[in-house]
Amino acid sequence: MKDRQSNLHTGLTELGDVSPAVFREQLHQLADWIADYRETIGERPVAPNAKPGAILAALPAEPPEDGESFGKILTDIDRVIVPGLVHWGHPLFMGYFGWTTTAPGILGEIITAPLNVNAMTWRTSPAATELETLVIDWLRQWLHLPEEFDGVVYDTASVGIMHALAVAREQAAPSTRKLGLAGRADVPRFRIYTSDQAHSSVEKAAIALGLGEENVRRVPSDAEFRMEVTTLREMIAHDLWEKFKPLAVVATVGTTSTASVDPIAEVARICREHKVWLHIDGAYGAGLALLPECKWVTAGWSEADSIVANPHKMLF
């Protein structure tokens, strides 16, 4: 960027915001900064060598009395923040899972910021509600799901799993939203099943929903890190004998550690046999369904009760 060090006049208005002219200039400056970062990201270290506390030590311990110039803030980002980052969009980043920081995705983020939409209901933002409805249906079609599937946009897949299990809980124990679970003689102790490779959000959801972390049963995986279906069947049978109520199975399409895909179709047959809710955690791998050569991952999806996908991991 040509003039990254320039200090623009604050140009504050009476309401504390910057003037339109200054804001426009700052936007151009930020656009250059973003373009420069993306263009040179491959020249940076993938991860910092900083010791814990190094970033804090480089920043003021007390809040400022006056705002700093935009140019000074960008300088501090270059000097302190960027060197302390793990660059997930780096071409050599091989940790966790692939992370898409494409130009269209960044442009979309820039557009959403000034609009500042609150999409609580249709009335608070008709465009947001109807756009969400349309995009969800596009996603349904891309993932080859039946027409009866509908959905919403969540902030994380973890929240999606929690809400799916909440619906499963309500179906198995009607009026739980009103009556809760405590002290109800008509409600058995529920069990949730997921593989030993599945995400920890399953336990977190069980805790939040009052189902209990200990009632999440981890099913061993096979040599390909997929849920062992025979063992799942045995665990369900044992729990039924012990008077537990199998509530849900969370099968994974793309585990965080190995990108393994559980045998969904086989798991679905067991779920239908025992009237157990089947949720598919496709946060990582569901996007593969768009590739003709990977359509095999969708086997059994139509038998699921719920599914979650993270478009930001593979679709944009």
Distances (CA, A) of 202 to 27, 133, 169, 270, 311: 41, 27, 14, 19, 20
Residue 314: per-residue pLDDT = 79
Calculate ∠ Cα 170-173-175, nearest 5°. Answer: 70
Ordered alpha helix ranges (H), 5-69: 20-40, 54-57
How far apart (Å, rounded) are the C-alpha atoms in residues 305 and 145?
11
Q: What is the pLDDT along the chain (316 residues), one digit of tens a residue?
A: 444 444 444 556 666 788 899 999 999 999 999 999 999 999 999 999 889 999 999 999 999 888 889 999 999 999 999 999 999 889 898 877 666 678 888 999 999 999 999 988 999 999 999 999 999 999 999 999 999 999 999 988 999 999 999 999 999 999 898 888 888 888 899 999 999 999 999 999 999 999 999 999 999 999 999 999 999 999 999 999 999 999 999 999 999 888 999 999 999 999 999 999 999 999 999 999 999 999 999 999 999 999 999 988 877 6
Maximum CA extent, the chain:
74
Residue 13: per-residue pLDDT = 63
Q: How many angstroms from the chain centroid is the CA of residue 307?
A: 13
How far apart (Å, rounded) are the C-alpha atoms in residues 225 and 236?
20
Residue 72: per-residue pLDDT = 93
Q: How many CB atoms lie within 10 A of CB 307?
A: 24
Residues 209, 162: contact at Cβ < 8 Å? yes
How far apart (Å, rounded) are the C-alpha atoms in residues 33 and 26?
10
Closest Cα partner for 206 from 173, 165, 241, 239?
165
- Scan for tokens 């891309």, then name that residue: 142
Distances (CA, A) of 193 to 58, 96, 190, 216, 260: 46, 24, 10, 6, 17
Q: How many CA atoms lie within 13 A of 149 on its CB side?
A: 21
Question: Can you list the domains of the chain with their CATH numbers?
Answer: 20-95 (1.20.1340.10), 126-314 (3.40.640.10)
Name the pTM for this structure.
Answer: 0.87
Residue 185: per-residue pLDDT = 85
